[in-house]
């Protein structure tokens, strides 16, 4: 007898429903979100035929957490069903639109019973790949958070301290540079900056880790920070200085988090067997390669072909046709993290690969906008990545891009 399990997930408890192939409810149970509850769930599955050889498939509305980790043992397939999709299935079993946790668990079990072929189980990635996923996403979130705080600092400086903004805007990294944060912490207001001495500036630069050109940089900063500018009232300026110090504390913590996570990602990524293949591609460094690996995983059976991976990445166009109307455009439902990494990858590849640059120029000549040409290039390169990972080959510029005029015409 084939059995299907549905679990309605919540923070403190979970509702479980088991049905057979005829849709008959075999058991239902509410379990707590702790070790005792997990053991009760595994015992319930075992009572209805669950074994390492024939595990019962499970549908649940989340892809992470301890409950999913406990269930992802052996060969069991876990289906993470989108809550929006589950809500549409709920209407098949009742028209009242009333929601209940036991009812949702039954709906999830019936989704597997009727349409399991239309849903994708969680990939069978290795523990190393899943650990890289955690760190790469955390590093990406930390970078976004750092930029958000830096934007707040920039906006505040424009209101009362524009000379400080001008002093660091031309440097790579801008306000996130250690010396910028050190100097602003030393002189959070224009009045304090006017009293800065060269020894104080040199000491601040040394504390920030600078070892070369300290005297020249201190002279430049002293001149820049003492440039004439309009002033807020003294009390208002002092209050804004206090606000700047609070933001700098957050920015310092965010920058440290980025540095720590970057180091952790690099250490773990280089241990993965796919790292050598990913790093062989032009435009992919350690951090960007780790982000790509984090989103596609290392389960080689996850994507049926390169087209499936391209659709998942959002690089392949989608066709919508209804009646006499037909529209070909970009995908909106996609892995946004992989799409973000793909745009950076394609942009970096323009200077690292002559073939990629020629492909981009050809797309622009055909009328594509910059973003369209980049997406087209990403679509091609991620297809090449799929082939290299499946065949365990390194990237080869000569095979990846055709340099002859005839080849370029065929590629277009």
Is the predicted pLDDT of residue 11 greater than 80, yes or no? yes
Q: Is pLDDT above 60 for 411?
A: no
Question: Residue 403 above 80 pLDDT?
Answer: no
pLDDT at residue 306 is higher than 80? yes
Q: Give the pLDDT mean for 179-199.
A: 93
Which pLDDT does position 5 carry in this prediction? 95
Q: What average pLDDT score do residues 159-182 get?
A: 91
What is the arithmetic mean of pLDDT over 262-270? 96
Residue 97: what pLDDT? 67
pLDDT tens, position by position, 287-304: 999 999 999 999 999 999
- pLDDT tens profile 322-333: 888 887 778 888
pLDDT grade for 337, boundaries at 50, 70 and 90 = very high
pLDDT tens-digit readout, 24-60: 999 999 999 999 999 999 999 999 999 988 999 999 9
% of the chain exceeding 90 in pLDDT: 75
**pLDDT, position 149:** 96
Q: Of 47-51, 100-104, 266-270, give the lowest mean pLDDT range.
A: 100-104
**How sure is the predictor about 239, in pLDDT bands with cuts at 50, 70 and 90?**
very high
Confidence of residue 95 (pLDDT cuts 50, 70, 90): low
What pLDDT is attached to residue 96?
67
- pLDDT category of residue 407 using cuts at 50, 70 and 90: very low
pLDDT tens readout for residues 108-156? 999 999 999 989 899 999 999 999 999 999 999 999 999 999 999 999 9
- Residue 171 clears pLDDT 90, i.e. is over it: no
The pLDDT value recorded for residue 406 is 47
- Count CB neighbours of 397 within 10 A: 15
Contacts of 241 (CB under 8 A, 6+ apart): 188, 189, 192
Average pLDDT, the chain: 91
Q: What is the CATH number of domain 3-118?
A: 3.30.420.40
Mean pLDDT of 354-370: 93
Say what the pLDDT of residue 73 is.
Answer: 82
Residue 409's pLDDT is what? 44
Higher pLDDT, residue 402 or 145? 145
On the question of pLDDT at 342 being above 50, the answer is yes
Residue 247 reports pLDDT greater than 90: yes
- The alpha carbon torsion through 87, 89, 91, 93 (nearest 10 deg) reads -130
Six token digits for residue 216: 């020249």
């Amino acid at each position: 007898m084939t059995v299907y399990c549905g679990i309605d997930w919540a923070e403190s408890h979970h509702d479980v429903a088991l049905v057979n192939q005829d849709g008959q409810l075999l058991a239902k149970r509410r379990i707590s979100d702790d070790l005792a509850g997990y053991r009760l769930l595994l015992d319930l599955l075992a009572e209805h035929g669950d074994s390492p050889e024939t595990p019962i498939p499970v549908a649940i509305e989340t892809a992470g957490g301890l409950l999913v980790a406990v269930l992802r043992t052996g060969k069991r397939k876990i289906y993470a069903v989108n809550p929006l999709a589950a809500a549409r299935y709920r209407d098949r079993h009742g028209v009242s639109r009333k929601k209940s946790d036991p009812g949702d668990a039954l709906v999830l079990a019936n989704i597997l019973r009727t349409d399991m072929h239309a849903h994708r189980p969680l990939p069978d990635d290795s523990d190393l790949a899943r650990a890289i996923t955690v760190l790469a996403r955390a590093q990406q979130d930390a970078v976004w958070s750092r930029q958000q705080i830096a934007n707040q600092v920039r906006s505040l400086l424009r209101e009362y301290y524009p000379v400080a903004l001008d002093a660091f805007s031309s440097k790579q990294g801008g306000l996130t540079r250690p010396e910028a944060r050190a100097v602003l912490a030393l002189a959070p207001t224009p009045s304090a900056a006017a009293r800065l001495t060269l020894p104080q500036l040199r000491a601040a630069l040394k504390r920030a880790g600078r070892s070369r050109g300290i005297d020249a940089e201190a002279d430049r900063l002293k001149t820049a920070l003492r440039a004439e500018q309009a002033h807020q009232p003294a009390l208002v300026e002092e209050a804004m200085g206090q606000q700047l110090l609070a933001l700098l504390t957050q920015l310092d913590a965010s920058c440290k988090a980025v540095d720590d996570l970057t180091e952790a990602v690099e250490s773990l990524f280089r241990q993965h067997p796919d790292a050598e293949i990913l790093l062989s591609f032009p435009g992919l460094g350690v951090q960007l390669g780790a982000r790509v690996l984090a989103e596609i995983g290392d389960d080689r059976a996850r994507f049926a072909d390169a087209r499936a991976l391209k659709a998942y990445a959002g690089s392949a166009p989608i066709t919508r046709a209804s009646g006499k109307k037909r529209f070909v455009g970009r995908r909106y439902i996609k892995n946004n993290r992989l799409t973000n990494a793909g745009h950076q990858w394609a942009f970096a590849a323009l200077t690292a690969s002559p073939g990629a640059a020629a492909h981009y120029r050809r797309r622009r000549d055909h009328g594509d906008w910059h973003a369209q040409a980049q997406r087209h290039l990403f679509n091609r390169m991620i297809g090449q990545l799929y082939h290299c990972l499946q065949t365990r080959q390194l990237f080869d510029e000569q095979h990846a891009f055709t340099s002859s005029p005839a080849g370029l015409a065929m590629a277009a």
